[in-house]
Structure 1
Amino acid sequence: MDAEVSKIGYGVLTEIAKDIYKATKHVLFKNKHWKDITKIKKLHDKILQVGSIKTIWQKDNDVYIGDFYYPSKLVTYHPHVATIPVDSLSDISKENIVIEGTVGQGKSVFLRYLCIQELSRKGSGRLPIFIELRKITAKFDLFNAINEALTSYGYDNNDVNTHDILKTDKIVLLLDAFDEVEDCSTRDLLRSIDKLAASYPNIQVIISSRPGTDAQKIPTYKVLHLKKLEDKDREPFFRKLGVKGKKLQHLLSSINTSTAEVSGILNTPLLLTLLIQVYNAEQSVPSNIPEFYEKLFTTVFSKHDKTKPGLTRLHKTQLGEFRLEELFRTFCYLVAMNGMKVSLTDTEFYTLLNQSISFLEVSCKADDFRHDIVKVACLMQEDGHFISFIHKSLVEYFSSSFIKNRNDDKVPNFYTESAKLSFSSWRRITQMLSFLSETDKYRHTKYYAIPIITSFFKSYNITEEPSEEQSRRVLLQICNERGLMITEDIDDNELSTTGWYRPSRDLPSMIPEISDIIDEIDDIATINVSENTTLEECQASILEDGTTEYNITFSKLISDVDVATYTNAIHTAIDSIATRLKKHRDFLTKQDNKNSDIYTIDPYFSSK
């Protein structure tokens, strides 16, 4: 960032700090430290650090987001579909918001960009606090994280001071990656978010998350979706990353002549960035997503460096590329089976890595592997007391690759056990299973996809050609099994939801067609609970901390009209699931016949 831009940032922060000082009288920048350019510079540099990150395409140094960021757009579906170009927080309404995006859509980069834009004249005039939610634990909650951030900004840390600052309208919280919060901490985090909204209504909170988490169900939060990149975005995106001239034209031409499958998936910043990496080494475009990741591993360990004259990174492990990738796959699988964490403590890293080394019986020192993964391949990075994968999808793909490349009798067991997981555990590995549906299609279909559908049909007594009455019964059973958790605001005498409960093993939510219907019913129930519900209709329970929580089922929160509407939706969904089940069975039959043909001995040879 050049001096002129920094000067603007100092001016913006001076005004914000001055406003906070006036509002709190005694807290931030005590003794009018907002007049001290040294203090302002410290605050400026601290916020600016959020915008410096390591990237897949620039391994050796941190890169400033402004140098490579490609403008994001948000999509809202209510009350009508609309696309919102966003260059700063000023372009977004001041509601509490969940930014939803799929794998590789750039959720974290987007939130970081919004944070540093508050240092510009385009900002909203508020002090941004960026928090990585993966660091939230039972011992380090959201309020601890806010305190830590404000302390680093230069004010005396105590609960009274924090309270005063949060009461102003000069703070915006940017909470990154709700989907990376550990299951054991999710419920407490939801309560903290609810408490934050109740205690400090002037604060805007923006949360990023993948689809299908409890973040999207937080009452009063508006869900906005990151818009996928379109064909017309490719050329300016590549130019932003420094691809130009003949190389750019060759790359675009290769994409245009690639398969429809590949062209159709090149709609996220991650995949376009990976494409540049792979194309530099291979001079070709991979044919599918799994091929992207496989070629990426080869690229980051060998071919990429060969394109730079005079540069040779030494591999300390002394393992061949095949064996090194096998070790990385095994390590990623163990990470996935231990909570799918993106960030590991040193103890977690070495424990899982040593288990991987022992499993494969390879001769490799743990510190040498760490060097190669962090310093050579840059697939992980050291981050304070943690070592982190540069992207969650790396763990998900290479853990799926571990399963795909195993030929032992434990693989069917992995699939059958996956279909029996609790919903919270299953949700952690959904992307891993999605990769396997492509790369290990036969075993995924036989041992996972078919069993999970048949289990759902059996559990709810569903026939493959259901009657309307059967569909209604299924709907009501689903609605009776789940509902909302409610608290009462004594001051306002109003009810608000703190989340929702479901069966531990939630088969309907593991079936996409049914899960979509449940989400719609949840939206209706959340609206109705505040308008029509009394505590007398709820079931009370005493929590461990002594507080009372109330539960109410969805079935008590939907009208007869809703029941009729969603009975039809369930009926259509079951038809669709039954069709999908038939396709799975036909695929297995076809593959089994092919396998049988391969091992059939030609009569000509058998007679010799």
Structure 2
Amino acid sequence: MNTASKEKFISESTKFALAKIFNYLDPKVRQVLENQIIEYTVNNALNFSLIKTILHKDNVNLAQIYQPLTIKHKTNDGTFLIDDFKKFIENHKNISLIASGGSGKTTFIKNFYIKCVKEGYKIPVIFNFREFNQFQIKKIIKDKDITENYVFIAFTQHLLFNKIGIDSKTIEKMFDSGEFIFFLDGYDELDNKIKTSITKDFQDFVTRFNNNRFIITTRPYTSANYLDNFSNIYLSGLEDFEQITSFIHKQLYNNPSFAESIIATLKQKSSKKYLEILSNPLFLILFINAYESYPNIPPKKTQFYWQVFDALFEKHETFSKTGYRRPKLTNLDREKFEKILHTFSFISYFDELFIFSESQYEAIIRKVLTNYKYRVNPKNFLEDLKVSISILVEDGKLLSFIHRSIQEYFAAKYVDILSEDDKADFMLQLAKEQNSIKGNHTFLIELISELYPYEFKKYYIKAHIEEFYDNKEFYLTEHDNLSGYDKVFDGFENFKTILSFSKEFQKLYIDFMKTNSFTNENINIIVSSRNHQQLKLAQEILTLYENKELFYLKMSSFIKDLDESNKPILKFAFRGI
């Protein structure tokens, strides 16, 4: 890394921010820390400025392929682009950046980090929430010193490892300056067993050092939506065809003719109904990656994942300089390879291992291989996942899927291996977890609804609705504050989203709401509605509760019709017996 490259990232503003920090410190440590902080932030910015993607196996400059994304407030009409990031942060101070998987949250904050360094806006520190999963977390302690706070400990260890600060007291004084901006990525990847503890410590940390700025990222419907004094900002993805076109050109900057070919396909009338799916940057990248093999747009998300895996598995080329194509080291047929991969993904997903060490990988994979009695070298299988197929990436000593949603897709595929009874049991347990404080499986459930529509409608929806009625206290009892009711409305919105994964059941639900009402108003939930949308949700909640027996009859009839519809197929299949 040359001096000229570093100097481009250092501004007078950076030195001004450092001067304010050093007002809190002993002058003796100023010179050492100044150099270390500049080295740390600039090195990070330079690292983040180079990126590998599914389309770019070698490093490419982030600025060359970065597409600014539209953002919005849920309570405001309209969307907007950030044209002045300093003003944006100052207006909101603390931000929860919310978007579904594949929307570009991580890339968004890396781009923000680079801007902070280039423009000298505070001292940026970036951290992944999933790193807390490696901590030994004890029970919540209501009142404890800041040095016992797990978030403070994590940042202190991180900075001391990078030779910033002398000890925790020095770093505490630095944080008191208010000249830091903290980026915390992937709140939804926190282990559920520690989520409550880490969330409390994070809020205490923000309160203690409230002159700093904080940006966190999360998927929808997590506790991060309700943090005190945080603005919820939603990434909208690629808003229109113009943004989709711009994104394709940027990704394929070195192959404009290929970009034009893809855009011509998307302009076709038959493609227009799929543009909503392609507004998700990850799905658009997957489509680009598989385009040569599959130029037609698949109608379902699971088909996207199948196409990209098929393209990688069958046609991925890892050539040496002599043109030799490297074979897969495991030499497994595809059926066995997928069986191992699906099982590994299922176990790691439900163990909440979204990032894992090689020893954690080996512990799971050996169990899988023993169960199937396959004689495969775990290291060879790992090498195939990293090199031949390129769906695992290695960062230092840690491994992860190229995107968490890829792991979810393979985990969903594992369900096919289960017996009918096991599928029913799995759907019941999944519904229980989804409707508890642990629930963050919305995307996995959507994939399952596409892959196994019959089982989803027969088993999952039934269990999902039963969990709604079991959660009466959550929906109808008085909450301490308005944010408590916000959780109720968001929770019910997510509940309805999952029902919509079956279009037939969604119609049944809509028709039921049109023909039924409630009489015994629950004043708490009605009064707590702060807008028309929340009032509508409150009315639907009460309608469901007052008409429970009737709704159960409708649901039972729906499932009975579902089973009856299979009988003609069975008669046809066995007509010659």
Query: Which TM-score applies when normalising by structure 1?
Result: 0.77
Aligned partner of 2:496 in structure 1 is: 512
Alpha carbons of 1:17 and 1:255: their partners in 2 closer, same or farther (altered >3 Å)?
same
Match of 2:64 among 54, 64, 67: 67
Contact 1:105/1:269 (CA < 8 Å) preserved in 2? yes
Q: Which amino acid aligns with 1:512?
A: K
Larger fraction in strand = 1
Structure 1 stretch displaced more, 152-161 or 109-118: 152-161
Aligned partner of 2:126 in structure 1 is: 130
Paired residues for 1:391-470 under 5 Å = 391-404=403-416, 406-421=418-433, 423-424=435-436, 427-454=439-466, 456-457=468-469, 459=470
The separation in 2 between residues aligned to 1:604 and 1:9, in whole angstroms, is 75
Offset at 1:303?
Answer: 1.3
SS at match of 1:421: helix
Q: Which amino acid aligns with 1:597?
A: P
Aligned partner of 2:46 in structure 1 is: 48
Contact 1:173/1:204 (CA < 8 Å) preserved in 2? yes
Alpha carbons of 1:359 and 1:583: their partners in 2 closer, same or farther (altered >3 Å)?
farther
Aligned partner of 1:249 in structure 2 is: 260
Contact 2:22/2:174 (CA < 8 Å) preserved in 1? no
Offset at 1:353?
Answer: 1.3
Q: Does 1:177 align with 2:186?
A: yes
Note the aligned Cα RMSD (angstroms).
3.9
Contact 1:73/1:226 (CA < 8 Å) preserved in 2? yes
Match of 2:359 among 326, 336, 347: 347
Spell out, residue by residue over 1:414-458, the C-alpha distance to the aligned partner (whole angstroms, 9 max, x if none). 11222233745751433211111111110011011123224535x
Aligned partner of 1:232 in structure 2 is: 242
Aligned partner of 2:142 in structure 1 is: none
Alpha carbons of 1:348 and 1:580: their partners in 2 closer, same or farther (altered >3 Å)?
farther
Paired residues for 1:125-204 under 5 Å = 125-137=121-133, 138-139=135-136, 141-204=150-213
Paired residues for 1:17-28 under 5 Å = 18-26=18-26
Q: Which amino acid aligns with 1:181?
A: L
Count of aligned residue pairs for this structure pair = 532
Contact 2:160/2:167 (CA < 8 Å) preserved in 1? no
Aligned partner of 1:15 in structure 2 is: 15
SS at match of 1:104: coil
The one of the two structures with greater contact order (alpha-carbon pairs below 8 A, sep at least 6) is 2
Spell out, residue by residue over 1:379-437, the C-alpha distance to the aligned partner (whole angstroms, 9 max, x if none). 11222342112211011111111113545532122112222337457514332111111
Spell out, residue by residue over 1:173-223, the C-alpha distance to the aligned partner (whole angstroms, 9 max, x if none). 001010001112212222222222221121111110001111111111110
Contact 2:95/2:233 (CA < 8 Å) preserved in 1? yes
Q: Does 1:599 align with 2:570?
A: yes
Structure 1 stretch displaced more, 66-75 or 297-306: 297-306
Alpha carbons of 1:16 and 1:284: their partners in 2 closer, same or farther (altered >3 Å)?
farther
The separation in 2 between residues aligned to 1:116 and 1:274, in whole angstroms, is 26
Q: Which amino acid aligns with 2:115?
A: Q
Contact 1:71/1:87 (CA < 8 Å) preserved in 2? no
Q: Which amino acid aligns with 2:74?
A: Y
Contact 1:98/1:221 (CA < 8 Å) preserved in 2? yes
Alpha carbons of 1:440 and 1:152: their partners in 2 closer, same or farther (altered >3 Å)?
same
Contact 1:381/1:388 (CA < 8 Å) preserved in 2? yes
The separation in 2 between residues aligned to 1:502 and 1:204, in whole angstroms, is 25
Spell out, residue by residue over 1:110-152, the C-alpha distance to the aligned partner (whole angstroms, 9 max, x if none). 111111112223x5x2110000110014438321221133225
Alpha carbons of 1:166 and 1:378: their partners in 2 closer, same or farther (altered >3 Å)?
same
Which residues of structure 2 form unaligned runs of 5+?
138-149, 500-521
Structure 1 stretch displaced more, 573-582 or 276-285: 573-582
Q: Which amino acid aligns with 2:7?
A: K
Q: Does 1:32 align with 2:2?
A: no
Contact 1:13/1:44 (CA < 8 Å) preserved in 2? no
Structure 1 stretch displaced more, 265-274 or 361-370: 361-370
The separation in 1 between residues aligned to 2:187 and 2:403, in whole angstroms, is 14
The separation in 1 between residues aligned to 2:327 and 2:498, in whole angstroms, is 51
Alpha carbons of 1:508 and 1:252: their partners in 2 closer, same or farther (altered >3 Å)?
closer
The separation in 2 between residues aligned to 1:71 and 1:180, in whole angstroms, is 24
Aligned partner of 2:74 in structure 1 is: 77
The separation in 2 between residues aligned to 1:582 and 1:274, in whole angstroms, is 42
Aligned partner of 2:147 in structure 1 is: none
Aligned partner of 2:506 in structure 1 is: none
SS at match of 1:328: helix
Aligned partner of 1:529 in structure 2 is: none
SS at match of 1:302: helix
SS at match of 2:432: coil
The separation in 2 between residues aligned to 1:574 and 1:256, in whole angstroms, is 45
Alpha carbons of 1:421 and 1:94: their partners in 2 closer, same or farther (altered >3 Å)?
closer
Q: Percent identity?
A: 19
Query: Which TM-score applies when normalising by structure 2?
Result: 0.80
Offset at 1:590?
Answer: 5.4
Which residues of structure 1 form unaligned runs of 5+?
461-473, 486-496, 516-554
Alpha carbons of 1:366 and 1:583: their partners in 2 closer, same or farther (altered >3 Å)?
farther
Q: Which amino acid aligns with 1:132?
A: N
The separation in 2 between residues aligned to 1:564 and 1:312, in whole angstroms, is 60
Contact 2:478/2:524 (CA < 8 Å) preserved in 1? no
Larger fraction in helix = 2
Aligned partner of 2:114 in structure 1 is: 116
